[in-house]
Amino acid sequence: MKSVFGRYIPGDNSFMYRLDPRIKILIAIFYIVFVFISQYFIDMVILLAPLIIVYLFTIKKVRPLISMLKFPIFVSLVILLVNIYSLTNYQVGIKGYYPASFIKFFQGSEQKINIDSATFMINGVLTTLKRGSTYRVEYGISMLTLNKTLSLFLRVYTMILSTTILTNTTRPILLTKALEDLMWPLKFLFVPVHIIAMIISIALRFIPTLLDEAQRIMKAQSSRGVDFKNGNIKEKVVAFTTLIIPLFISSFAKAEDLSNAMETRGYDPYEKRTKYRQLKLKWLDLFVVLFILSLMAFLIVNIINPGLNGGYLPSWYTLLKVV
């Protein structure tokens, strides 16, 4: 099955297809920004849940939604392995996030405390040591590790899903117009807005093309005996070299063909342009903007005035905090 990431999928007259492309771009930016500054897991779920519902009702396919989990899971597993070799008993004591859950995997060297006092997990017991005392560094895993891994997974998946909905429901030509309209104020700073919008549009247009090309090259190399799945690291590097080099050559060839085609049609990026059709906001766009502004206000209040120290959020909400 072809990848749906970065590919426009013709659909019915659902509200995401009728939504103004400028609003969809702003919504995608809003999701990317706020999912990375959210302080609670429930806030992330509140952001992610509407995206999943919108995707299911718009694209009407579950399989792509599941296939998009691969990259976030891979990144999360890498971070999990890194945390195992970087999370120490000192960090667990400082954070104070379920310190009793710390499981030691191996020990490091002895260190001397250079501050007045510090709290550590030593042999499963939270211990406070004073200046001059020595302790042995312990590496392991705890709820702190799972907290970081889960938060990264939700953030990356939300980012991928929001941009996928944008590209799946917006024609490339409308995406170019929307980007140019949003960057219109930069014209006063003599920034070539049209050229930037065209570059971004072409880049988004060729993402699915390059993905399909990579799949085609991989199948061709596999038929010649190249094994991309098995072998040690050196063999895999050599195998993927047979994929990367032809992909680069093909990319440059496509770029050259596109350049010649645009030049043949008389395209001049510096010529002044007029527009036959203007993008106009409708009542549906205003309703969606109002909903997004309400959600933004709720998340901003959660960041500025959390449930602790007189905040309005309940205790169970603030317990699920991103560390």
Clarify whether residues 298 and 267 are in a common domain. Answer: no
Clarify whether residues 247 and 309 are in a common domain. Answer: no
Q: Judge whether residue 243 has pLDDT over 80.
A: yes
Clarify whether residues 54 and 163 are in a common domain. Answer: yes
* pLDDT, position 310: 47
Which two three-digit tokens encode residue 233? Answer: 């690291």
Give ∠ CA 121-123-129 in degrees, rounded to 5.
45
pLDDT digit string, tens, across residues 187-231: 888 888 888 888 887 887 788 888 889 889 998 988 888 888 887
What pTM did the predictor assign? 0.78
Length of the chain: 323
* pLDDT, position 23: 94
Which two three-digit tokens encode residue 79? Answer: 């971070």
Clarify whether residues 163 and 311 are in a common domain. Answer: yes
Q: How far is CA 178 from CA 158, 170, 175, 183, 184, in A?
A: 22, 10, 5, 9, 10
Clarify whether residues 249 and 313 are in a common domain. Answer: no
* pLDDT, position 53: 93
The band of 294, judged by pLDDT with boundaries at 50, 70 and 90, is: very high
Clarify whether residues 108 and 256 are in a common domain. Answer: no
Clarify whether residues 175 and 269 are in a common domain. Answer: yes
| Residue 256, domain extent | 171-276
Clarify whether residues 204 and 246 are in a common domain. Answer: yes
As a whole number, the mean pLDDT across the chain is 82
Clarify whether residues 244 and 155 are in a common domain. Answer: no
Give ∠ CA 205-208-212 in degrees, rounded to 5.
140
Helices 233-264, 193-223: crossing angle, 10 deg rounding: 130
Beta strand pairing call for 134-141 and 103-112: antiparallel
Clarify whether residues 247 and 120 are in a common domain. Answer: no
Q: Judge whether residue 180 has pLDDT over 90.
A: no
Which two three-digit tokens encode residue 292? Answer: 């997004």
* pLDDT, position 194: 83
Clarify whether residues 94 and 159 are in a common domain. Answer: no
How many domains are contained in the chain?
3
Clarify whether residues 226 and 315 are in a common domain. Answer: no
Which two three-digit tokens encode residue 171? Answer: 């024609």
pLDDT digit string, tens, across residues 65-79: 888 888 899 988 888
Task: Specify whether the CB–CB gap between 91 and 141 falls below 8 A.
Answer: no
Alpha-carbon distance of 101 to 276, in angstroms, equals 63
Q: Judge whether residue 109 has pLDDT over 80.
A: no
Q: Judge whether residue 137 has pLDDT over 60.
A: yes
Q: Judge whether residue 234 has pLDDT over 90.
A: no
> Which of the residue ranges 32-41, 212-221, 255-264, 265-274 would you say has the lowest mean pLDDT?
265-274
